[in-house]
Structure 1
Amino acid sequence: MPPRASSSKTAITAGILAGLLAAALGAYYVYQPPSAGHATQDTAGAQPEDKAVNALLALPEIRAWSAHIEKASGGKSHGAVMETTPEQRLVDGQAYFQLSFFENGPDAAHRWESFLVTPDGKRILVEDMVEGDLLSLERWRKESAPMKRVPN
């Protein structure tokens, strides 16, 4: 019987596998925020999922995080929005797309935040990764200060 791997090796292996899974998801469905000098897509004829993604990409936090990731990595990593599950989630009778913002790097993708966005893009909730609660954008901004994640 071969010796059992140490718990630290198991944790490292699990982390690598999780990173590879996230990168695979990124290859399946990735939206990258537009550069600061480019206009956003016209959403008039867009599909509901595209409207939801574009609404998320328009958030100042997502734009700032993306710019920071790009600059700090020297262009090796990028901010990306990915659909984290294909099924819509019902909250108080309203359907939401489940999207997350990731730092998409050459070796792995790291999730920064998870969001629920209505198909029309008019309502965005933030999923508290610790408690599992859903927060309004206003509450999330007040309690989490997401703009402080990146230097000014």
Structure 2
Amino acid sequence: MAAIVVLSYPTIMPPRASSSKTTIIAGILAGLLAAGLGAFYLHQQSAPHGDHAPAARSQTTAQEQNARAVDALLALPEIKAWSAHIEKASGGRAHGAVMETSPETRLVDGVACYQLSFFESTPDAAHRWESFVVTPDGKRILVDDTVSGDLISLEQWRKDNAPMQRIATQ
């Protein structure tokens, strides 16, 4: 005859209100983890079974260059203003975010550039505001016209599209 003995009862915690910041941070961390695991897997598949130091150095350099490109984009006055506007208009429920839109670089004038976009990140979805192509050193930023496929300079974009007016009309 078998007896079932309950040693302890599970503790049930009351549900906690989810914040959009927690959701966004969790999503970003999950994406970074997936990207890191994918890069690690690809590195393991393509690396020779000898000294891994040169590949590790090259991967670190690529990550540093990507970070420089993202920082350069985040420093644009339009991106700063858009982020502040989104935060204020949503009462903190939505946030501005810069994300890499393609893991592949885009060749521009012989330079492999990062493809980045500015998104409005809400608890339900992410809405793209604009796409950019940025050099690894962050010194050249072009706007990617996703309709025509053309790249235009920041100066031309500012002149043609008046991006700062976007937040004035919303």
TM-score (norm 2): 0.63
> Which residue of the partner structure matches residue 82 of structure 1?
99
Q: Distance in 2 between matches of 1:134 and 1:47?
A: 24
Report the Cα offset of residue 25 of structure 1.
7.6
- Using the aligned pairs only, state the percent identity: 70
The one-letter code of the counterpart of 1:51 is: R
The one-letter code of the counterpart of 1:87 is: E
Which one of the candidate residues 109, 118, 131 is aligned to 1:114?
131
Q: Distance in 2 between matches of 1:47 and 1:79?
A: 22
Which one of the candidate residues 28, 36, 39 is aligned to 2:31?
28
Q: Distance in 1 between matches of 2:28 and 2:145?
A: 21
Query: Can you give the 5+ residue segments of structure 2 that lack an aligned partner in the other structure?
Result: 1-26, 33-62
Report the Cα offset of residue 129 of structure 1.
2.3
Which one of the candidate residues 96, 116, 122 is aligned to 1:105?
122
Q: Distance in 2 between matches of 1:26 and 1:116?
A: 23
Report the Cα offset of residue 68 of structure 1.
0.5
Structure that is richer in helix per residue:
2
RMSD: 2.1
- When Rg is computed on C-alpha atoms for both structures, the one with the higher figure is 2
Q: Distance in 2 between matches of 1:84 and 1:113?
A: 11
Question: Residues 102 and 113 of structure 1 are in contact (CA less than 8 Å); yes or no, is this contact kept in structure 2?
Answer: yes
Q: Distance in 1 between matches of 2:146 and 2:78?
A: 17
Question: Residues 26 and 109 of structure 1 are in contact (CA less than 8 Å); yes or no, is this contact kept in structure 2?
Answer: no
Q: Distance in 2 between matches of 1:131 and 1:105?
A: 27
Cα deviations by residue, 1:45-98 (Å, 9 ceiling, x for unpaired): x81000000000000000000000000100000000000011111012111000
> Which residue of the partner structure matches residue 127 of structure 1?
144
> Which residue of the partner structure matches residue 65 of structure 1?
82
The one-letter code of the counterpart of 1:143 is: D
Per chain length, whose mean CA-contact separation is higher, i.e. which structure has more relative contact order (CA < 8 Å, sep 6+)? 1
Q: Distance in 2 between matches of 1:64 and 1:136?
A: 19
* Local SS of the residue matching 1:102: strand
TM-score (norm 1): 0.70
Question: Residues 26 and 104 of structure 1 are in contact (CA less than 8 Å); yes or no, is this contact kept in structure 2?
Answer: no
- Match status 1:145 vs 2:148: no
Q: Which runs of 4+ in 1 moved over 2 A?
A: 24-27
Q: Distance in 2 between matches of 1:26 and 1:150?
A: 28
